Structure 1
Amino acid sequence: MDLQRCKSWRRSRSARITTLALAAFLVAGTTPATAAPDYATAESGNPFVDGWYADPDVAVYGGQYWVYPTSSRPYAEQTYLDAFSSPDLVHWTKHPNVLTTARVSWATKAVWAPAPVERDGRYFLYFGANDIQSDAETGGIGVAVADKPEGPYSDALGKPLVDRFVNGAQPIDQDVFVDTDGQAYLYYGGWGHANVAKLNRDMTSLGRFDDGSTFKEITPANYTEGPQMVKRGGKYYLMWSQGGWTGPNYSVSYAMSDSPTGPFTEVGKVLQQDSAVATGSGHNSVVNVPGTDIWYILYHRRPLSRSDANHRQLAYDRLRFAADGTIQPVTMKVQDDFGDDNAFGWTTYGGTWSAAGGRYTTTASYGGKSLLDTNFANFTQDADVTPTGSRGDAGLVFRVTQPATGTDSYRGYYAGVSPTGRVVLGKASNSWTQLASTPMTITPGVRHHLRVEAVGSSIKVYVDDLVSPKINVTDTSFTSGANGVRVFDTGAVFDNMAVAKR
């Protein structure tokens, strides 16, 4: 099955699941989300929104998925929160400044980790502010309220809800979980400690546990910050981030319990960096597609080529559960079907590129290329390629380093299809060396599925027929690097780009 047919199959499958979810919602008397996506990953590409953001939390309101992140900037500039909404986890609308410090009298900076929840027709947004270092400072966890998911949100109390250190936990990184019995809980904590507290029905005051206490410490081993509570099948899953958020090893672990307050049994790590895809993957949230057993993990991560602590982007991948209820380790997949009509995460070098109509298009140029920030060594790379001119060629670049604008201004390999009637494979290092060429009928305006398999020194190029390679060579010049697309003396249309480890 070629990738275009796979894409159509995925969409038809999602349509069937949407129908099932709709039926489930009609039975429950609730408005469904307009899509019930069944994706392997963010198939229209990660990051799924533009800009530097971190700490995403997610809710489903009125048939829309809503994501509320931290603006990843220096602390003094973190004076606002944006939100993003989507009917299908593909097309996203930005809602800027849903909360600002101008509407919170006691907050001045470091507005972090918003946690959204709706109750009794009101929308609440919990947030950390001011990064307090002691009980003598003003700040902590606040709660804002609005009449709509997009706000504007305003401070509900005129003071923090939690304004001091309890059990050693810095009052930041809050998560709100409403259990099936209606009881709401606040999970939070930095500095290596996590607490849980009950929220009263008004959602702006704290309740007490049966023993009279307000806070219970639930710190698991290797905990740093960013707690997240999930319930599935009667089991409670406490997820958290460990490691330093500024470094590459930031990651997510989890524990399980039969109670929302524990005790929790640590299971293991569920999300961590991938040296081929991204680093610093952490501070997650989880969304369940309503009416299904489809789950996604939303998180932030740092592009491979970036080292600035605040260069973080929003991503999501599929979250799957094993038969015993444990969570399977998350794989950060690399795909882009351009269904969102953008090319976030791509960097161009020459040529004129645009994403529209679910495709990625470029005008004719001598060597214009667009790259993902990846570093794969052994992999399979797929894309649909449609040359639009009668000359030149268009195709895939891989194991690319030192990219620049220019015909052969990169180090790496290129496999392309030419309307002049050939499939070509070569390598570049500021000059071109052809490795192989074979005849094939390539017609302008006709889509061809191009696949490259690169494992060690072996490079195979497939076109349409994914069983028998058109080209099979051995070359040891380049061992790893970025993946992307390229043209030479022709325009082209690209679609269904995917890269997977071998």
Structure 2
Amino acid sequence: MAAIAALLLGGVPAVASPVDSRVVSPAAAVPDFSTAEAGNPFVDGWYADPDVAVYDNRYWVFPTSSRPYDEQTYLDAFSSTDLVNWTKHPNVLTTAGVSWARRAVWAPAPVQRNGKYYLYFGANDIQGNTELGGIGVAVADRPEGPYKDAIGKPLIGQFVNGAQPIDQDVFIDTDGQAYMYYGGWGHANVVKLNADMTSLGQFADGSTYREITPANFTEGSQMFKRNGKYYFMWSEDGWTGPNYAVAYAISDSPTGPFTKVGRVLSQDAAVARGSGHNSVITVPGTDIWYIVYHRRPLSRTGANDRQLAYDRMTFNADGTIAPVTMRVKDNFNDNNAIGWTTYGGNWSTGAGRYETGASFGGKALLDTSFTDFTQDVDVTPRSAGGDAGVVFRATQASTGTDSYRGYYAGISGTGKVVLGKADNNWTQLGTAPVTIRPNVSYRLRVEAVGPAIRVYVNDMVTPKISVTDTGYGGGANGVRVFNTGAGFDNFAVAHR
């Protein structure tokens, strides 16, 4: 299927699949993460509607370019061998290679078969059956394309059962039968694909289209199979709003019936909004699953302000999917700082760390807004003076020593840990002696629950500082230095 990537455990021989050639040879390491450990979004730029495949030991993500419709004339792709380091492949498909497509090129769905690479896509956002557009299929000799129109016209170019022909997903079952799931405007259909992958087949009753619309379906069809059960996923509510979310159903058949089980991914007011239009990745030979989706940063309201993310997806004993947690982590192993915004200082990434030279208050923040949380980071001060540490519950950030409203906890080579709050000035709330040496890494933790704030250094049992302060209730999380350079690693924030 278009949304399941295949990566075998190291030491397990690869087995060629007669129905889906995306099964790949052994990899050096199986990605076993709680989230995108090197940070979400995992690639730079505005993208949406990701679908995935694995070709020749490499993960591929094919998203929509999140821009105004008339500018959506191309598709980019991203590839990775480890789900950490990503390579951009621009313009894998453009409207120049599809005679009938002119705009609104959406939701690519990749699959490999017959020695070729197929990419299914929506184009033109047709509003009725008198317009030219719908779902097309392009083909290439390589995963990165260039993909060219395979049939010279839409594969599905009409509204059937009320379903707008968009947001397709392709699934190849274990018996070799390929299906396409698609639809918008609140209706979903499934069709069979013939073995050529460029024409539609028929069901046993002679029909071509079968409606499978579950409750509250909007768009974004997705299908995968686990333990003999078929999981149909879709997106609910409006794609421009904060409540865009992913729901699912389970069936014994690839054509349903599909009765809604519930939502599995929704917005988190501390992390991101509008989380939806997903695909899934599984690691064959394990029960490791990820959900890949797009979401909108908290500080952005534009319809096209969407970014790509992935998080761990787990199953309950009865086969239902546990609600997905959008986790906030960054170990900088991808050697970038996508998602971070800096205010002063000279920041860079390298050797799996986030580094900055000395400055008076240079800080870097994530677009988060946690209230009660635990925040961790490994801090390596670069000099015996000054201090370096974490910012939390921060708002109104700008460049300057104390130019934000929020809290800061830092460690100093002068032999102390300090906690205070800023509002274009500095108020110290607590300090404690700690042995700190330059170029040595220390684990710094802050726990904040309501007005109670605790600061830990290395020892995560006994806090070095424990205070009560009602100054700030929520805001962004990040890191900061004062009069020293520092390296930061293994940053994480989680709800309490």
Fold similarity call, TM over 0.5: yes
CA contact (8 A) 2:105 2:124 kept: yes
- In the alignment, which residue of structure 2 is the partner of 1:292? 286
Secondary structure, aligned partner of 2:483: strand
Q: What are the within-5 Å matches in structure 2 for residues 214-293 of structure 1? A: 214-293=208-287
Partner of 2:111: 117
Aligned partners of 1:33 and 1:24: how far apart in 2?
A: 9
Matches of 2:435 and 2:187 in 1, distance apart? Answer: 64
Instruction: Tell me the TM-score normalized by structure 2.
Output: 0.96
Query: Match for residue 62 of structure 2?
Result: 68
Aligned partner of residue 490 in structure 1, secondary structure: coil
Report 1:416-435 matches (<5 A).
416-435=410-429
| CA apart distance, 1:466 | 0.3
User: Does residue 1:442 correspond to 2:430, yes or no?
Assistant: no
2:275 alignment partner AA: S
Instruction: Output the CA distance in 2 between the equivalents of 1:40 and 1:417.
Output: 28
Q: Tell me the secondary structure at the aligned position of residue 22 of structure 1.
A: coil
Matches of 2:467 and 2:136 in 1, distance apart? 61
| TM-aligned CA deviation for residue 27 of structure 1 | 5.7
- Which secondary structure state, in structure 2, belongs to the residue aligned with residue 364 of structure 1? coil
1-structure distance, mates of 2:370, 2:305: 21
Q: 1:353 is matched with which residue: 328, 347, 353?
A: 347
Structure 1, unpaired ranges of 5+: 1-17
Paired residues for 1:33-432 under 5 Å? 33-432=27-426
Equivalent position SS for 1:23 = coil
Q: CA RMSD in A?
A: 1.0
Task: Output one character per residue of 1:16-62: Cα deviation in whole Å (capped at 9) or x when no partner.
Answer: xx9x7133334669523454211000000000000000000000111
Partner-residue secondary structure (3-state), 1:500: strand
Hey, what's the Cα distance between the residues in 2 that align with 1:190 and 1:124? 22
Alignment partner of 1:76: what SS? helix
Distance 1:259 1:207 in 2: 17
**Separation of aligned partners in 2, 1:181 and 1:244:** 36
Residue identity matched to 2:88: K
TM-superposed CA distance for 1:266, in Å, is 1.2
Instruction: Report 1:451-490 matches (<5 A).
Output: 451-490=445-484
Asked whether the equivalents of residues 253 and 270 of structure 1 are also in contact (C-alpha less than 8 Å), the reply is yes
Distance 1:35 1:93 in 2: 19
CA contact (8 A) 1:34 1:88 kept: no
Aligned residues of 1:99 and 1:154 also touching (Cα < 8 A):
yes
Verify: 1:23 aligned to 2:5, yes or no. Answer: no
CA deviation string 1:73-125 (max 9, x = no partner): 00000000000000010000000000000000000000000000000211000
Q: CA deviation at 1:440?
A: 1.2
Aligned 8 A contact 1:195 1:216 in 2: yes
Contact 1:33/1:290, CA 8 A, preserved across alignment? no
In 1, the alpha carbon distance for the partners of 2:221 and 2:27 equals 26
* 1-structure distance, mates of 2:461, 2:141: 57
Other-structure match for 1:9: none
One-letter code aligned to 2:290: Y
Q: Deviations over 1:364-396 (max 9, x none)?
A: 000000000000000000000010012110000
| Structure-2 separation of matches of 1:313 and 1:82 | 14
- Structure 2: where are the runs of 5+ without partners? 1-6, 18-23
Question: Would you say the 8 A contact 1:426–1:433 is kept in 2?
Answer: yes
Matched letter for residue 142 of structure 2 = K
Distance in 1 between the 2:87 and 2:109 partners? 19
CA change 1:85–1:209 in 2 (3 A) is: same
Counterpart-to-counterpart distance in 1, 2:159 and 2:15: 45
- Is the CA contact (8 Å cut-off) linking 2:103 and 2:124 kept in structure 1? yes
Answer yes or no: is the 8 Å Cα contact 1:173–1:190 preserved in 2. yes
Give, in whole Å, the separation in 1 of the partners of 2:310 and 2:271. 13
- Contact preservation (8 Å) 2:215, 2:259: no
Give secondary structure in 1 for the equivalent of 2:96. helix
SS of corresponding position for 2:232: strand
2:388/2:484 contact within 8 Å kept: yes
Q: Aligned partners of 2:472 and 2:122: how far apart in 1?
A: 47
TM-score w.r.t. structure 1 length?
Answer: 0.95
Matched residues, number: 484
Q: Deviations over 1:443-466 (max 9, x none)?
A: 111110000000000000000000
- Give the deviation of 1:264 after TM superposition: 1.3
Q: Deviations over 1:119-145 (max 9, x none)?
A: 021100000000000000000000000
**Taking every aligned residue pair, what percent have the same amino acid on both sides?**
74
Structure 2: distance between partners of 1:428 and 1:95: 44
Q: Secondary structure at the match of 2:414?
A: coil
Give the Cα–Cα distance (whole angstroms) in 2 for the partners of residues 35 and 272 of structure 1: 30
Seen in structure 2, the aligned counterparts of structure 1 residues 104 and 284 have a Cα distance that, compared at 3 Å, is same
